[in-house]
Amino acid sequence: MKAAEISMGERTMPAPPRRATRRRLLLIGLNYDPEPLGIAPYTSAVAQALVGAGVAIDAIVAQPYYPTWRPWPGFGGWQRARENGVEVVRCPHYIPRDPNGIRRILHHVTFALAALAPALSRARRRPGAVLVIAPSLMAVPVGWLAARLSGARLWIHVQDFEVEASFATGLIRERSVLAKLALWVENRLLRSADLASTISPKMVERLIAKGVAAERVRELRNWASGSFAAGDPSGGAYRREWGLGDRKVALYSGNIANKQGLEVVIDAARRLRHRDDLVFVICGEGPNRARLMALADGLSNLQFHDLQPAERMGDLLALASMHLLPQIASAADLVLPSKLTNMLASGRPIVATAAKSSGLYDEVVGCGLAVPPGDGAAFAAAVAALADDPARCAELGEAGRLRAGERWGREALLSRFVAVAEAAMAVD
């Protein structure tokens, strides 16, 4: 897509005539480099792409903590640095060991409070736009105030509808007074945006349903890295290290929390424990890992491993005979899992849990198998079917690799993000 075009849902709209811009953008977001998973790699890459396009970026971010929910060594307190051309301010904030309920809310509140002073200070530099990444939606009032003081446009980019996700994962009771208040606040904050964007067609629809004017909404997808070069296309190094032999590997790699619904993987492993040719591997960190390991006790066909370094990601992706992408039903269309893009790019088929009405189903169908969320028997049957049909695995995997290039090409999507930013920073 040309830089002079803007995506709006599934349509391609011509951008308005080029106007003068204030070539500075203030970015506020929880997650940033060097966190390896989730939102951080996308936020960091967007900031660096804008720098490459000649935009000055001030980024106000949290100290690294994800996915372990522990402070990273070497970080803490207030830190200011220039990183890859971006002026980064890292804010101290509360990091709960068990990120549930009120503790997670405090996590977001303390970040928003810590971000306030540096955001107002940098508003004096008169950015053309203030971009707030959600999560954390609680930082939107900070972004709104900075935008109003500087005469900038407020831009909210939604990676995750966090209020409804908190209902889905049981962090907040859906029919409680707190839930009603949280939804009202979320809708008001989203409607305050001069521009709102999100990462999938279904999530675009959800923004509009929440009252954001359609002409203010853009679809800006996450991308597949495509840069994970596998030293061994069979994942041989990991096979030797983990004693996997020549067994087929059903791999999950990523965050281990409630919304992933990884219990279905444990169930499937238990149902297929009689198969000597198949092993399940769960690789990652998160608050639900200890409980899952307890559920899997005694299963010799399932292994847990820590999150692997980015430089070995290509070998890890190549290790998989198939990728596993579970998600609880109530989280459908609240977030499109960021790991999906690199799963597709790896050329391996996917077994996902997704209702036919969901956006995840639309993305997976043709590149893997989708079964109803929470259905361990169907999930196990899908894994077994792919394990028994190498030709079908190869066909679905190649379709996924092609789809990743067509829908999630990194350079094209970053160019689109830059084009939207240029329009947002345009001077009236």
DSSP 203-219: HHHHHHHTT--GGGEEE
Cβ–Cβ < 8 Å for 350, 323: yes
For the chain, what's the residue count?
428
Q: Which pLDDT score, from 0 to 100, does residue 11 have?
A: 42
Beta bridge partners of 5: 14
Q: Which pLDDT score, from 0 to 100, does residue 342 have?
A: 87
Cβ–Cβ < 8 Å for 35, 66: yes
pLDDT above 80 (res 333): no
Q: Which pLDDT score, from 0 to 100, does residue 10 have?
A: 40
Q: Residue 260: pLDDT band by 50, 70, 90 thresholds?
A: confident
Q: Which pLDDT score, from 0 to 100, does residue 216 have?
A: 96
Whole-angstrom Cα distance, residue 268 to residue 244? 18
Cβ–Cβ < 8 Å for 339, 307: no
What is the reported pTM? 0.82
Residue 413: alpha-carbon gap to chain centroid: 15
pLDDT above 80 (res 19): no
pLDDT above 80 (res 221): yes
Residue 379: alpha-carbon gap to chain centroid: 23
For 177-211, what is each residue's pLDDT tens digit?
Answer: 766 777 888 889 999 999 999 999 989 999 999 99
**Among the residues of 90-176, which ranges form H helices?**
101-123, 140-150, 162-168
Type of residue at 144: W
Which has more pLDDT, 147 or 8? Answer: 147
Which has more pLDDT, 251 or 229? Answer: 251
Q: Residue 166: pLDDT band by 50, 70, 90 thresholds?
A: low
Q: Residue 235: pLDDT band by 50, 70, 90 thresholds?
A: confident
Q: Residue 8: pLDDT band by 50, 70, 90 thresholds?
A: very low
pLDDT above 50 (res 1): no
For 20-63, what is each residue's pLDDT tens digit?
Answer: 667 999 999 999 999 988 899 999 999 999 999 999 999 999 99
* H or E element, residue 249: strand 248-253
Which has more pLDDT, 36 or 301? Answer: 301
What is the percent of the chain where pLDDT is above 70?
87
Q: Which pLDDT score, from 0 to 100, does residue 101 have?
A: 72
Whole-angstrom Cα distance, residue 191 to residue 218? 14
Mention every residue, 6+ apart, whose C-beta is less than 8 A from residue 349: 322, 323, 367, 368, 369, 386, 392, 393, 396, 397, 400
Whole-angstrom Cα distance, residue 196 to residue 208? 10
